[in-house]
Amino acid sequence: MKLDKIMSCLPHFCRGIVVKGFGRGSKQLGIPTANFSESVVDNLPKDLPTGIYYGWAQVNTGEVHKMVLSVGWNPFYKNEKKSMETHIIHAFDGDFYGSLLSLIMVGYIRGEENFTSLDALIVAINNDIATAKTELDHKDQSKYKNHLFFTEHENSSETISDLKSVQVNLNNNTANSNL
């Protein structure tokens, strides 16, 4: 898929409750991930291809951190359902199932691919993390760290239970006006 078509879907904003995933991120890969429910995944833009993305993430009303995100079928594991698995580039003290995860996808790293071994998958993920760290340091990407999207829900009267399957879609014009 052409990069300009992918980039026309970005930035993409979404918010939802962290649910239990397949249990592979921390256990098999040593790379913990936060997973969205199927309802959030189902509300992704139809033109957004599967692959690896980077951007910014916030748990509840905490700090905003860099993140890398896999959107797709995870062919190495032969998933039957499309998923969104977010690795927040920060060391947390514990898990945060049931917490509100807000994220802004701002860039694309690569398409989804299969791997010949678990070690090859881990190397690719670590390369994706390194790419995300570098790309997010650029001014055109780092500006999203302070986007109103991360603070607007802090002043809301909504509770986490009100947001069980919230999907926030903002078009580029709205997104850019809030910077």
pLDDT over 70 at 74, yes or no:
no
- The one catalytic residue among 38, 63, 80, 85: 85
CATH superfamily of 1-150: Riboflavin kinase-like (2.40.30.30)
Average of per-residue pLDDT across 99-126: 92
pLDDT in tens, 18-73: 998 766 655 667 888 899 988 998 899 988 999 999 999 999 999 999 999 999 88
pLDDT in tens, 122-162: 899 999 999 999 999 999 999 999 999 998 876 665 544 44
85 annotated active-site: yes
Q: Which of 63, 59, 136, 137 is nearest to 105 (CA)?
A: 136
Answer whether the bond into residue 49 is a cis peptide, omega within 30°.
no
- Report the DSSP beta bridge partners of residue 18: 36
Give 174's pLDDT tier (boundaries 50, 70, 90). very low
d(CA 166, CA 172): 19
User: For the chain, which residues make up each domain, given as ranges?
Assistant: 1-150
